[in-house]
């Protein structure tokens, strides 16, 4: 079979759960996907944490093996020894844990006993850990330049911090797993309009950290977006503090150049991974002219997705929010067409 392992930005949620469980005195084990074949449902770097009560957080499959894996993890807590586990079509236990998709996954499972390690891995900063799969020993980079290992391994950890990619590797005739905990994906929404009421909660469900910016008093009332909050400072000031980076998507929904344009200027001057703009083709053409007059060349303006969102055919605010989030996810995985989407759309009777 052909290896189909993929690079993956490891979620912090399992480690955050592990940190809380350990703080309450519970024993915990962690399993990480180190290799996949066929149609395995979760990519390399995916993790699951299990505590001694058989509670778990995270996922290493689409539910195919989690119930069986929990018992293995409980045994690892008892023995205190790490091990590699294999599940799938070629596994001797295939009748019990066959992956419904027909794939195979290899996991590295380990007891978590070092509170400092778990605290470091669950912090909001890029962290890379290089694990020796033969014995469970690890080397850590905390993203601040405080690298613990010798120079042979230093390059791999630095590369992991830079790329945000987890992968299995061989060095010095030994088997290693580089597990990278990159910064969380962020979404900055400019314009606290109706679409934002749907877009922000959905993005949070997908693990995005979110911020909503709108200086207009009529839109900045927190009651309009309960539980979300609106930054009502000048857009340029708010964007300077938010500092979009390569983990950040920026979406402008304000319907007002005085609100949207300062955000787009800040986003275009940053490494933002996605920049989307609400508006019709005519509105977007005028927007491009304004930004071009401010010195942005055509190749820079090609980063703008306008009209924003994949063309799913929906017209309601909720449906448009789905299309925007879908395009952000597609862009993250390199699946957005270069030419963008040529269409008009009406939102509650108003043309974008």
pLDDT the model gives residue 142: 61
Tell me, yes or no, whether 173 and 296 share the same domain. Answer: no
1 lies in some domain: no
7 lies in some domain: no
Tell me, yes or no, whether 150 and 102 share the same domain. Answer: yes
pLDDT the model gives residue 148: 52
Tell me, yes or no, whether 41 and 165 share the same domain. Answer: yes
160 lies in some domain: yes
Tell me, yes or no, whether 156 and 49 share the same domain. Answer: yes
Tell me, yes or no, whether 203 and 154 share the same domain. Answer: no
pTM: 0.67
pLDDT the model gives residue 317: 94
**Helix axes 257-268 and 281-293, enclosed angle (nearest 10):** 60
Domain that holds residue 191: 186-351
pLDDT the model gives residue 38: 58
Tell me, yes or no, whether 222 and 192 share the same domain. Answer: yes
102 lies in some domain: yes
Tell me, yes or no, whether 125 and 147 share the same domain. Answer: yes
pLDDT the model gives residue 62: 62
Per-residue pLDDT 10s for the chain (352 aa) are 223 333 344 567 888 899 999 999 999 999 888 877 755 556 777 889 999 999 999 887 766 677 788 889 999 999 998 888 888 754 444 445 445 555 678 888 899 988 888 888 777 677 888 888 888 888 877 654 444 555 567 788 877 777 777 778 888 788 888 887 777 789 999 999 999 999 999 998 887 889 999 999 988 877 777 777 899 999 999 999 999 988 899 999 998 999 999 999 999 999 999 999 999 999 999 999 999 999 999 999 999 999 999 989 888 999 999 999 999 999 887 876 544 444 444 343 334 4
Q: Count the domains in the chain.
A: 2
Q: Before 158, cis peptide (omega within 30)?
A: no
């Amino acid at each position: 079979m052909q290896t189909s392992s993929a690079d993956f930005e490891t979620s912090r949620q399992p480690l955050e759960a592990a940190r809380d469980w350990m703080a309450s005195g519970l024993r915990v084990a962690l399993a990480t996907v180190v290799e996949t074949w066929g149609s395995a449902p979760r990519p390399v770097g995916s993790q699951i944490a299990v505590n001694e009560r058989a509670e778990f957080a995270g996922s290493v499959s689409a539910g195919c093996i989690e119930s069986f894996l929990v018992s293995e993890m409980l045994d690892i807590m008892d023995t205190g020894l790490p091990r590699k586990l294999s599940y799938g079509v070629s596994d001797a236990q295939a009748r019990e844990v066959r992956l419904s998709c027909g794939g195979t996954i290899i996991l590295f499972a380990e007891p978590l006993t070092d509170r400092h390690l778990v605290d470091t891995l669950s912090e909001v900063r890029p962290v890379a850990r290089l694990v020796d799969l033969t014995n469970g020993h690890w080397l850590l980079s905390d993203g601040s330049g405080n690298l613990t290992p010798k120079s042979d391994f230093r390059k791999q950890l630095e590369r992991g911090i830079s790329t945000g990619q987890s992968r299995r590797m061989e060095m010095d005739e030994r088997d290693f797993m580089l597990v990278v905990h990159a910064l969380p994906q962020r979404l900055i929404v400019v314009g606290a309009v109706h679409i934002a009421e749907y877009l922000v909660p959905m993005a949070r469900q997908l693990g995005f950290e979110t911020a909503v910016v709108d200086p207009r008093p009529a839109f900045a009332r927190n009651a309009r977006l309960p539980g979300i909050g609106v930054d009502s400072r000048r857009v340029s000031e708010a964007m300077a503090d938010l500092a979009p980076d390569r983990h950040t998507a920026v979406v402008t929904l304000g319907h007002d150049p005085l609100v949207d344009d300062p955000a787009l200027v800040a986003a275009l001057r940053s490494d933002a991974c996605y920049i989307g703009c609400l508006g019709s083709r005519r509105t977007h053409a005028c927007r491009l002219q304004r930004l071009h007059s401010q010195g942005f060349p055509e190749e820079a303006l090609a980063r703008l997705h306008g009209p924003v969102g994949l063309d799913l055919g929906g017209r309601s605010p909720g449906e448009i929010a789905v299309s925007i989030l879908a395009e952000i996810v597609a862009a993250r995985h390199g699946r957005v067409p270069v030419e963008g989407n040529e269409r008009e759309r009406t939102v509650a009777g108003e043309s974008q």
